[in-house]
Amino acid sequence: MGAAAGVSTSTVSRVLNGTAKVDPSLARRVQDAVADLGYRPNAAAQGLARGEAGAIGVLVPDLANPYFPNILKAVSRTARTYGRRVMIMESDEDAASEYELALDLMRSCDGVLLCSTRMDRASLAELALHSRPMVLVNRMAPGLSTPSVSVDFYGGMALVCGHLAQLGHRRVLYLSGPENSWANAERVRAFDAAAAFGLQVTVVPCGTTSRHGYQTVSALSDPAATAIVAYNDLVALGAMAALEERGVTVPTGMSVIGCDDLALDRQPSPGRLTTVSGARDELGRIAVDTLEILMTSKFDGEPSLIPMNLILGDTSAPPLSYSG
């Protein structure tokens, strides 16, 4: 390359890496040689020359959860527009392992996205002291300077409460997600305000999978409840399977509402599930955009909240006792 441009190898390196000022006439000769030879710089090598890894890291709690693939696809697609690769790790829903996994990503990547992290606030505060930029996804930590991007789970559950109240429901069961999940806490916070809708919501410990939903509902006994709201769509489907075994018809005998509008085409159900959803592709895109700003300049924006939409399906209806 240096011979083709008639300049030294170090001059070529400075032009391609942008590490120092170069005489404009020499820079043009290098750029002309690049065009003539069809040369494509190695982005990873250029990053290393600048002390960068050329990659961002993403930590998620469970890769088997169908909620995360759309986010990760958007993260990967957006990262490529910035010339960056993506490294993914999962904690397998083990909050105790997240801190060390996040540190591993920080050692290997230029910045990190912590997606639906379960770790405590003290651990987040300690991570924020490290030199690598970090963005929280579906988690907010008031008081920390760490940027965050999240779906508005509180607003989504408020929509669910309004829908159930309008249908005439008064006693509702909420099949709760992980205890240390911020997103789950936001749902519960909305249900705490549900009295304004005339709803009495009982929170029942459950989990994140269809098996958890099935087992929890199989063991439940609340004859006064007329609706179930599940932590996610998987839990909702498990709940419906248990209701069917008990001879309870959905939605006339029990309304069931999920969350996240997951891709469940191959899952059996009595019809399209009523659920709430926020745009996961937008969540991933905004998260990477925010991290890129943080890595290349200074981010001083507000936390981003993506609204949820109520998607009416075939699993919610007025209770049998409702007279309208």
Q: What confidence score (pLDDT) does residue 17 get?
A: 53
Report how far apart, in Å, the C-alpha atoms of 3 and of each of 29, 30, 161, 281 are.
11, 10, 71, 46
Phi, psi of 205 (to 5 degrees): -55, 135
The encoded tokens of residue 36 equal 């003539």
> Hey, which residues does 275 pair with through a beta bridge?
311
Q: At what angle do helices 24-37 and 9-17 cross, to 10 degrees?
A: 90
pLDDT band at 224 (very low <50, low <70, confident <90, very high): confident
Ranges 11-15, 200-204, 214-218, 276-280: which has the least confidence: 11-15
The span from the CA of 219 to the CA of 212, in Å, is 11
**pLDDT the model gives residue 188:** 96
Q: Residue 169 and residue 27: Cα distance in Å, rounded? A: 72
Q: What are phi and psi of 149, to 5 degrees?
A: -135, 130
Query: What local confidence, expressed as pLDDT, does residue 8 receive?
Result: 57
For residues 209-233, average pLDDT: 93
Secondary structure class of 19 (helix, strand, coil)? coil
Angle among Cα 201, 159, 154 to the nearest 5 degrees reads: 75
Contact partners, residue 132, CB within 8 Å, separation at least 6: 106, 109, 110, 111, 112
What pTM was computed for the model?
Answer: 0.81
| Burial of 245 per CB tally in 10 Å (0-12, 13-18, 19+) | exposed
Mean pLDDT (the chain, rounded) = 86
Q: How far is CA 231 from CA 117, 276, 306, in A?
A: 16, 11, 18
30-39, 113-122, 188-197: least confident range: 30-39
Joined tokens for residue 294: 């943080």
Per-residue confidence at 110, pLDDT binned at 50, 70, 90?
very high
Mean pLDDT of 41-68: 74
pLDDT at 270: 54
